[in-house]
Amino acid sequence: MTAHPRRIAAVLATAATLLTTHASASDWSYQAEIYLQGTNIKGDTTIGLPFNNRTTEVDLDSGDIFSNLDMGGMFRFEALNNSTNWGVMVDYAFMDLGPDASGPLGEDIDASIRQGVLEALAFKRFQLEGSSIDYFGGIRWWDNDIDLKFNGPANTKISVEEDWVDAVVGARWLKPLNERWTLMAKGDVGGFGLSSNFTSNLAVGAHYKMTDSLSLDLQYKAVYVDYETGSQGESGYFAYDTWTHGPIIGLIYNF
Residue partners of 21: CB distance under 8 A and separation at least 6: none
Question: What percent of the chain clears pLDDT 90, i.e. is strictly above it?
Answer: 49
160-189: per-residue pLDDT in tens?
Answer: 788 999 999 999 999 999 999 999 999 999
pLDDT at 246 over 60: yes
Distance, in Å, from the CA atom of 241 to the CA atom of 46, rounded to the nearest integer, reads 9
Q: Which residues of 102-117 are buried (b: 16+ CB within 10 A; e: fewer)?
A: ebeeeeebebbbbbbb
CATH architecture of the domain 5-254 equals Beta Barrel (2.40)
Distance, in Å, from the CA atom of 86 to the CA atom of 157, rounded to the nearest integer, reads 49
**pTM, full prediction:** 0.78
Positive or negative, the CA dihedral 141, 34, 187, 55 is positive
Query: Which phi and psi angles does 235 have, rounded to 5°?
Result: -60, 140
Distance, in Å, from the CA atom of 129 to the CA atom of 176, rounded to the nearest integer, reads 11
pLDDT at 147 over 90: no
- Averaged pLDDT of the chain: 81
- The arithmetic mean of pLDDT across residues 129-148, rounded, is 91
CA angle 214, 201, 73 (to 5 degrees): 50
Tally Cβ neighbours within 10 Å of residue 154.
8
Distance, in Å, from the CA atom of 62 to the CA atom of 241, rounded to the nearest integer, reads 19
Q: Exposed (0-12), middle (13-18) or buried (19+): which is 20, by Cβ within 10 Å? A: exposed
Strand-pairing partners, residue 153, are none
Least confident of 31-45, 123-137, 229-243: 229-243
Higher pLDDT, 74 or 25: 74
Least confident of 3-12, 74-83, 151-160, 169-178: 3-12
Distance, in Å, from the CA atom of 173 to the CA atom of 165, rounded to the nearest integer, reads 25
- The arithmetic mean of pLDDT across residues 123-133, rounded, is 96
Higher pLDDT, 88 or 51: 88
- For residues 119 and 168, the answer to whether their CB atoms sit within 8 Å is yes
Pairing between β-strand 196-209 and β-strand 214-229 as defined by DSSP bridges = antiparallel
Least confident of 51-60, 79-88, 100-109: 100-109
3-state secondary structure of 5: helix
- For residues 172 and 123, the answer to whether their CB atoms sit within 8 Å is yes
Strand-pairing partners, residue 185, are 173, 204
Least confident of 5-9, 222-226, 239-243: 5-9
Residue 233 banded pLDDT, cuts 50, 70, 90: low
3-state secondary structure of 64: helix
